[in-house]
Amino acid sequence: MNGHLRRLPNDCGFINNYHGNIIGLKILLYITSLIYENGEIQKELIVPYRNFGFVSNSLRRKGRNFICKYVVDTIDINSKWFIQYADVKFDEKYVYIYFSEKMIDLCHYKESNFYLYDLNMISAFTNINAVKLYLIYKRHRFITVVDGKNTFKCNDERFCSIFQDYQSYTAIRHAIKTAISDFTKVTGISVKIVKHDYWWLIQYNDNKISSCELSEKDEQELEEALALDDEDDI
């Protein structure tokens, strides 16, 4: 597996629309990553199930039938939004991937609306929400690197769609703590998540951009901006 960075559309559904566990999320990211290999754009691919062992040790130790069911179930649950990136078919031995024009265009043009992620780093995560924190970071770090920004806002509803399947703020805060621990362990980047009334602040510090700490003035300006604009950054 090449170590070069892979592309995702800025408006992709991996952060907010994905349903399932971490292995399934890695499977979809792996499928998407296969569009560009060895300097060439692949419009159609036939992939043996054993190749999916790359994304997780749990899959690597399982047989073809187990991996097949995992891939099929993951695609089925997420097909409504994933179909805009790739159409995936199956048989007993192979996965057949047909990439959409949207994904093909994304690889053809350097100045498209995309961000970059490291598939090898994705494979190292053990927590699904840590993967999402990584995708949020890569998406916005790539967009705002010129401005040196590292703070991103998210309203309550959108944030809870990131941290799915948690019925209380106590459970969400525990999930956040676990996700931050895994994210920092894999990336070496510290992150802080703070709730302010009806919105959340995600702050990254990779020692290459400004500090994670917001001044009182910055927090006031951000709160005023949120009052005027209901659209999320994430």
Q: What angle do CA 176, 83, 28 make, to 5 degrees?
A: 45
Give the mean pLDDT of the chain.
80
- pLDDT of res. 82: 94
Distance CA 229, CA 111 (A): 27
CA distances from 105 to 9, 37, 42, 132, 136 (A): 10, 15, 12, 24, 22
pLDDT in tens, 62-92: 888 889 999 999 999 999 999 999 999 999 8
Question: Is it the case that residue 157 has pLDDT exceeding 90?
Answer: no
pLDDT in tens, 97-156: 999 998 888 777 655 678 888 888 999 999 999 999 999 888 876 555 444 457 778 888
pTM of the model: 0.81
Question: Is it the case that residue 227 has pLDDT exceeding 50?
Answer: no
Structure tokens at 197: 């009334």
pLDDT in tens, 194-215: 888 888 888 888 765 443 444 4
Per-residue pLDDT band for 57 (boundaries 50, 70, 90) equals confident
